[in-house]
Amino acid sequence: MLRIDTSQPDARRQIDSLRQKLAPASGDVVSEAGRKKTMEVFGEPLTPVEVVDRICRDVRERGLDAVLEYTAKLDGAELTAETIRVPQEELEAAHQAADAEFLACIRRIRENVLKFQTEILHSDTTVELAAGGWLRQRYLPIERAGLCIPGGAAAYPSTVLMTALPAQAAGVKQLAVVAPPTPFGSYNQDLLATCHELGIREVYRMGGAQAVAALAYGISSPPRSREGLGEGQNKGTASSPSTDPHPGPPPEGEGVIGKVDKIVGPGNLFVALAKKHVFGDVDIDSIAGPSEVIVIADETTNAEWTAADLLAQAEHSPGSSVMITWHAPLIDEVDREVESQLAELSRSDLTRQSLDEFGALILVRDRTEAAELADTLATEHLHITCSEPEEMLDRIRAAGAVFLGPHAPVAVGDYAAGPSHVLPTGATARFASGLSSNDFLRTNSVISYTEANLQSVADDVLLMANKEGLTAHAASVSRRVK
């Protein structure tokens, strides 16, 4: 892990470099394997941004033909209009075969999350006016949301919980889950059982940019032929009948996959760039980079536990693990513990890669500098495990989720506590917030005026309208208050 001493001249450069690595996806960097795959699929060395633009455009123009083509070429899965959606019988079978203890765990977590997400939910507010009218702020759930569930290197039924339950607490009626067609994705039995337990009946075997585009634009026509794909023909029409054996209730009519109002959930670089691409056609939660944690520690901190916390985040691979402390001996203690515990992990090679690329042990002058640095990095997860943790919390404004004290590791937020684990990354916690039930609400204001109310503001409205030269605006009031 990188060691940084803020008293040294090059400390700022090192911190800036670390922050840049954690920035949300710019799409400029691609691995050698990624470049090779791009050449295989597209026949030219496209950047990730160009790849996503191409995929999203193809899905918008060619519908399910394009989704199936990219699923075959990128994921190696040959699917059809009949098999891209997980059948209801398969969801039921996964639920029936699930371990009873696992389902009981899911139900306990569901209770925790729904309790928290319901308690924080916005409710209508009405302001009564003196002359008899009133003003109201009204909150209504969106109709339909798409949930992106990763499935590359590990299975994440927890992400189903942390995306679906806030939406359900808000009152969203229709949820569509997309997960890549892999053993860790939409073929994972625990994931399917979790979906069924939560009442989710729409689960699609697709991932990556093509899944995001399908949710954003909707797929209303099945493929007719796999021949000749890639030549730019539009092989489907909006009026073609769906062959999906389990058609859902898309808001725009019958179709293979209904267009959603909002897309949420984590994913790789291509998912992040695709969400950025479709924003405006639909709402999104965020454009996320690598998962990250900052641990603020001092002489009271348990080095063994802190090393475990850093390793837990690095295990995501990519995942950033940073400790900030003003107690110099703790640097060596934690470093030794990290090396000792690393050998025990099932994903030790990937975890070490994350530590080498995104890990840092930072020595600062005092608590004040620790708080300033934490705000600068504006991390996804902030674990304050020094003395007087609440006093330190009062100094810090920017973090996606905060964990106070030695008995609140980030894992409890990932799995069970109540707040969603879908959080802002890459210093975007300066202006962004974690996913919650309120993100699935849309709001509008309602103005109900009596004649007396209108009379009371007429002069001000007329003055402002005339100042701006909007005479029709002025007339719409003056004609009522002659």
Known catalytic residues?
380-381
Task: State which H helix or E strand residue 460 sits in.
Answer: helix 451-467
d(CA 48, CA 182): 22
Kindly give the interhelix angle for 48-62 and 208-217, rounded to the nearest 10 degrees.
40
d(CA 52, CA 274): 6
Q: Find residue 448's DSSP bridge partners.
A: 134
Q: Give Dmax over CA atoms of the chain in angstroms.
A: 84
Task: State which H helix or E strand residue 13 sits in.
Answer: helix 11-21
Cα-trace Rg, the chain = 26
φ, ψ for residue 350, nearest 5 deg: -65, -35
d(CA 104, CA 168): 19
Which stretches of 326-413 are assigned E, i.e. beta strand?
A: 360-363, 381-384, 401-404
CB 28 within 8 A of CB 47: yes
The total number of residues written for the chain in this structure = 482
d(CA 6, CA 286): 31
